[in-house]
A and B are shown apart, each in its own frame.
Chain A
């Protein structure tokens, strides 16, 4: 148990927490955007996983992290495309479609990984840092502030709010609900894919099947707890980052508890937060498909 209080250890711990928080922040911001527009995106786990695989594969073959991140975002958006068609255009059940997408992507990425990387398990080199952090970290923080501004200070923000609360109001005001929701779903896919790519390229440096391991579901919880406020997503993501990181730290420190118990920590935190903070109001039309003129 040496070095628990040392500066080096604490610095490592904080950096690790931040790195663990980043995919959750990106995914959580995405999920929040989608929920604000009234679409409960349960497929976000699959979108993150698709981003993780595509990001890793492109980064590995091109040797550049940034093309990989871009590919990850694109892959997330690609997985969001069926969600747009099925749930926004054709008004199918969002939860069912989301779960189907997640399961499908899990199978597909495991299969692709099996053919491409399962014999070699290649690793990516550690990313280049800028002022001690990966540059995307700063961009994600800026995005958090940017989204807060967008929700509060643009008509787009008001329109998203209306789409989630009372889509018919938006429709009658002459704004297409399905286009707005569709755009929100695609943006969510992109953000989730980016978060997944961050996970495989920056946090882990390797792709492992099923590596998101419930991160997408934590993003859903984060978005629900934070309601419409991006800064709360940041706070929640950091909290989970700390708990994920402490799971690792506890093992490194050789604390004598089974590793399964330690790995449960983030999920215990989820449940605790839901018990303490849950029960608030979600958008009234969340999860409800909008069809004009239904009666």
Chain B
């Protein structure tokens, strides 16, 4: 009889406001195995980690240790039970030395044995084949080194389970390969390892068992026999299907496939074959060449009139930098941005706004609107002081009300009256206020950053409809989204951002999902 799994989730549910992060998940870690957990953004991977680590409490179901459901679980109990966790974001105290960080958690009256902790840490590093100065402040280390430090701390406790959430993201290829080889060696000594990643090859290189999550549910799992028996390319295709739910995709707007002549002449090697352009298309509106800043490298693309270019990618691969660099929030970039042939470089937000650049932030409440101001003023937030709404520094209520009434009617904003405070609106209506503000007649380039995040299906529908309508008037649209379905629904072409570079641009159409999935998981 096989022993029960060391650590398991049994029908675990976890809900957050508006999201079901885990929906009846069954998942087990066994001694001596590397278990890879795969899934795209928001699939529920980090919630699984939180449940196992004791930072999240399940709403239903149980966390089991050696087959027994745990009545109580917390980070302290997890440590006592031999569960070591390395989370996605560093949890070292940046203002303490690495050695001091290693000492956290001991009995409070003890004297911190800094020298011996430093010595132990240095030895452990040597055993791992890396070199990190234990007396350096943790905050001065690179993200990769911080992560390695945390792994060493987790191993130092000699536990039974090691949980690693996206450990290879901050590491370069060589360090990643080194870590994975080391994991293999560790689990051969009897440790149960949970490896979370979005890179398929890594998972297949090292894992004994694979589980795939999608939207909070287990959509598939592969046991050691499956992994051994199936060729790599078949496995990859199977897993991608589980991760992204491959279903036939039909673009919703009537679009005409046009063989790409113009774009080829503009010298864009990344655009291959066909692209889908609405009937009104033709001229290039936005042309970006060699755009580089501290998180972006050599971004090249162009968007035609009426075209929607989607941007896919795992969060944190440069999406925010791309949006803010184009909108003018961040000025520290090199390369060229041409809007209708005129350079935008060096222009600040207001000047770009005047030239028709519009930006819908993903931070609706913090950055996009002012909750304490009335809806009518939020609709004019980027035109404060401009005629005809303001004259001689005084605002003209009649003009502002009239403008608001028109926007409220046009965009179907559900609000009792134009002077109601914006904070009283639902997320969907807030988003409509932002859309109404940005999609005025003068818009030429619109940057949408996760436009439907946190919205219910109906509001999301309405927003997507607007995005399409705005494109139909000839605006160039850049649609950054973590939701692949949304990108496939709206975009003519979809680029994949990976570590600040464009890994490729795919024309929407049959097979696009698979090609995007491939680019995202390479």
Residues of A at the B interface (CB closer than 8 Å) are 153-159, 161-162, 165-166, 168-176, 284, 292-293, 295
- Is the beta-carbon distance between B108 and A156 smaller than 8 angstroms? yes
- Is the beta-carbon distance between A155 and B79 smaller than 8 angstroms? no
Question: A86–B365 Cα gap in the complex (Å)?
Answer: 26
4 cross-chain pairs, A with B, having the tightest CB-CB distances, nearest first: A173-B105, A174-B76, A156-B108, A173-B104
Q: Which residue of B lies closest to A157 (CB)?
A: B112
Contact of B91 among A158, A161, A166, A292 (CB under 8 A): A166
Q: Which chain A residues border B55 with CB–CB below 8 Å? A: 171-172, 292-293
Q: Which chain A residues border B74 with CB–CB below 8 Å? A: 292
Quick one: given A172-B75, A174-B79, A176-B76, are A154 and B96 in contact (CB under 8 Å)? no
A157, A172, A175 pick with most chain B CB within 10 angstroms: A172
Output the least CB separation between A104 and chain B (Å).
Answer: 27
Q: Which chain A residues border B105 with CB–CB below 8 Å? A: 170, 173-175
B55, B75, B101 pick with most chain A CB within 10 angstroms: B75
Contact of B104 among A175, A176, A284 (CB under 8 A): A175
Number of interface residues of B (CB under 8 A): 32
- Is the beta-carbon distance between A162 and B111 smaller than 8 angstroms? no
Q: Which chain A residues border B111 with CB–CB below 8 Å? A: 153-155
Q: Which chain A residues border B112 with CB–CB below 8 Å? A: 153-155, 157-158
Output the least CB separation between A89 and chain B (Å).
Answer: 16
Residues of B at the A interface (CB closer than 8 Å) are 16, 50, 53, 55-57, 74-76, 78-80, 85, 87, 91-96, 100-101, 103-112
Q: Which chain B residues border A169 with CB–CB below 8 Å? A: 91-93, 101, 104
- Is the beta-carbon distance between B79 and A161 smaller than 8 angstroms? no
Question: A293–B54 Cα gap in the complex (Å)?
Answer: 9
Quick one: given A153-B112, A158-B112, A166-B94, are A172 and B87 in contact (CB under 8 Å)? yes
Quick one: given A162-B93, A165-B93, are A174 and B80 in contact (CB under 8 Å)? yes
Output the least CB separation between B283 and chain A (Å).
Answer: 43
Output the least CB separation between A175 and chain B (Å).
Answer: 6
Output the least CB separation between B150 and chain A (Å).
Answer: 9
Q: Which chain A residues border B95 with CB–CB below 8 Å? A: 161, 165, 284
Q: Which chain B residues border A171 with CB–CB below 8 Å? A: 55, 75
Question: Can you name 4 extra interface pairs (CB under 8 A) apart from A162-B93, A173-B105?
Answer: A154-B109, A156-B108, A169-B104, A174-B80
- Is the beta-carbon distance between B50 and A293 smaller than 8 angstroms? yes
- Is the beta-carbon distance between A155 and B110 smaller than 8 angstroms? yes
Question: A169–B87 Cα gap in the complex (Å)?
Answer: 10
Q: Which residue of B lies closest to A228 (CB)?
A: B95
Output the least CB separation between A177 and chain B (Å).
Answer: 10
Output the least CB separation between A190 and chain B (Å).
Answer: 18
